[in-house]
A = this chain, B = another copy of it.
Amino acid sequence: MGCLGDGRFAVEIRNGVSNGCGEVEDAVKVLLEGLGEDVNREGLRKTPLRVAKALREGTRGYRQKVKDIVQGALFPEAGLDNRVGHAGGAGGLVIVRDLDLFSYCESCLLPFPVKCHVGYVPSGERVVGLSKLSRVADVFAKRLQEPQRLADEVCSALHRGIKPAGVAIILQCTHIHFPDIEPVFLDSNHQGWVKILVSSGSGVFENKNADVWDDFFGLLKFRGINMDKIHLRGSSDPCWCPSQSSLSAKVSSKIGPVNPVMVTAVASIIESLGEDPLRKELIGTPSRFVKWLMNFQNSNFDMKLNGFLCDGIDSLNANEEVNVNQKITSELNIPFWSQCEHHLLPFHGVVHIGYLMSDGFNPMGKLLLQSIVHFYGFKLQVQERLTRQIAETIAPLLGGDVIVVVEASHTCMISRGIEKFGSSTATIAVLGHFSTNPTARASFLESIPRPTSSGEQ
């Protein structure tokens, strides 16, 4: 939200029917109803307003002009006097690395994080204020985008604004996998990301084989970015968005035909941003977004699951004295996807489950634990409730002494005003022995390995 408080912004939104916010709220209500939700439920009542605010903030790039940003931030810096060569100021390469941005995928409307590296070679004895490189990149990120176009637009806008010898852009983009793609669940690294790297260059960077690109990569290398290992995306490559992969199309047929009222609602949201829903790249977007959303529809599968669970293992009495021979058994890093009911934005991460068993044997099998995690993930959720529901469901099946830890990254923590990129949320639920024995809890928490990678490139 930057410097606007929530309250003030809400007023702006409320009065802002003419700028499309009222339309967005109405459209979000249609989507919630299409998911089988009660729009008056307390957790959802303000969701339409929150979604409208987040979307307006997240696409503010449509209402910003690069000229206003760069103007007045060009400073005179003499180059090297009477010498051959290039040096900082005029001639030398200037790069800003590791700018964290996020953008919205034009193919499916989900936000995707971008690590942006910007370089330029000054000319005309002018340099630009460093923060402007970030601000200009942000203007184009905060629109419906595709990685290569985003790189190209930032590149040419900076070239026009700064008039340097050349501009180079490298973007590392990551897109959440779609949850209906089965292999993702079988990925032992449970990263669940599509990653691509795109570049764009102008002026002296126009030729991809120019020496100045080697300098640029040389300076990126010691930030852990090694060009040799990464395949640069070509213009003929298919769309990167998992919603367009053939596998996704095949599997998502499970969801059934999309509701045309919901599709129309999403099209009206796109239109309210000032975009043309009939632009080639956007034509299928509303139905792809609705397909994604329908993974999280409200369902009455509880009966079905309960039926299964009743066939399970007889539960121990949680208050029964714990046998000293029982040891903590665990299933760690079970991946999950869910959708935040406050913002209609994905959150995803891993679940760690621990329980006491005398023989260290999981009577349920990992697959059933995974199914329960996925069952509770695929709804409009909040992480706290998800944690509790998993604990309550598995406790009777695993002897009553269970600990559940959920670790998640919330898109709503990065793709709105607060943009806390590195943050992650952990919740814990404990039952039986774990609720009364801090040593057992500590022992389980100790056993969780530190993540080897945050899922980023």
Interfacial residues, chain A to chain B (CB-CB below 8 A) = 1-7, 9, 42-43, 46, 57, 60, 64, 68-69, 72, 75-77, 79-81, 83-89, 92-100, 122, 127, 129-131, 134-135, 138, 211, 214-215, 218-219, 221-224, 318-319, 342, 382-388, 391-392, 395, 404-406, 410, 412-413, 416-432, 434-436, 438, 441-442, 445-446, 448-451
Contacts and interface: CB of A to CB of B under 8 A. Distances in A.
Contact of A422 (B46, B100, B383, B392): B100
A334 to B, nearest CB: 15
Contacts of A93: 427-428
Q: A1, A92, A422 — which one has the most chain B CB atoms within 10 A of its CB?
A: A92
A122 B382 CA distance: 14
B1 A88 contact: no
A388 B91 CA distance: 10
Identical copies in the complex: 2
A68 B95 CA distance: 40
A388 B9 CA distance: 45
A392 B90 CA distance: 13
Contact of A127 (B84, B384, B392, B395): B384
A215 B428 contact: yes
B222 A449 contact: yes
B42 A75 contact: yes
Q: Chain A binding site: helix, strand, loop or mixed by DSSP?
A: mixed
B88 A387 contact: yes
A57 B88 contact: no
Contact of A76 (B42, B420, B448): B42
Nearest to A219: B426
A186 to B, nearest CB: 24
A415 to B, nearest CB: 11
A210 B220 CA distance: 46
Nearest to A405: B219
Given A80-B429, A89-B388, 6 more contacts: A3-B417, A79-B388, A94-B426, A95-B425, A96-B425, A127-B384
Nearest to A94: B427
A45 to B, nearest CB: 9
Contact of A218 (B318, B416, B424, B446): B446
B131 A418 contact: yes
13 contacts: A1-B2, A2-B2, A2-B4, A5-B69, A80-B392, A81-B392, A85-B435, A88-B387, A96-B425, A130-B425, A134-B423, A135-B418, A218-B446
